[in-house]
A and B are shown apart, each in its own frame.
Chain A
């Protein structure tokens, strides 16, 4: 079983729709949870970072963590064409900062 499971998609949505992405993980020792956005031919850009169960909002983005179910989600409200990218979840145990990545979810927002 892989450390982190993320359905690679792709996911196409109309502009203005809510995008819902999620990852599951198997190791309950993960303490830090991140979402990165990666545009084509670019490096990943940190979107959200959290370390506790519950919701964290930043503008149109909401990260949700459920440690009991080992499940994390990213929601994008009022999606825009500029949100079209690949979204990667990443988890860390802490300490050595090594990240375990999901496969990435390609999102296309259609104008």
Chain B
């Protein structure tokens, strides 16, 4: 159990276009989903935390108008990179936390989406 999928696994786009990445919890309901980005040989950097049915909470320095997050259901969250630029090229990873009601429930990660903006 606790499988998280992401789609697409990789995407190449032109500068100025928008890209949507989907994150799904396949076998559990996720109250909270997280979005991270990771640069080569670096650790994960939390971008935002999203709770089903409410607005996402963005980390300091992350532009909420550029990285639009929607968590419409307990199994789906989307990240849209708007007007993408080459510096947005990165590995984007989502994670999901189960609605167990227990404090400290850990996060289960998706396989990641590699974005390359030309």
Contacts and interface: CB of A to CB of B under 8 A. Distances in A.
Interface of A: 8, 31-32, 34, 36, 41-46, 49, 51, 88, 92, 94-99, 101-104, 106
Interface string B87-106: 00001010101000001111
A92 B44 CA distance: 15
| Contact size range, B | 20 to 34
Contact of A97 (B6, B97, B114): B97
B90 to A, nearest CB: 12
B43, B105, B109, B111: residue with the most chain A Cβ atoms closer than 10 Å: B43
Interface string B46-80: 10010000000000000000000000000000000
B106 A88 contact: no
A46 B3 CA distance: 11
B110 A43 contact: yes
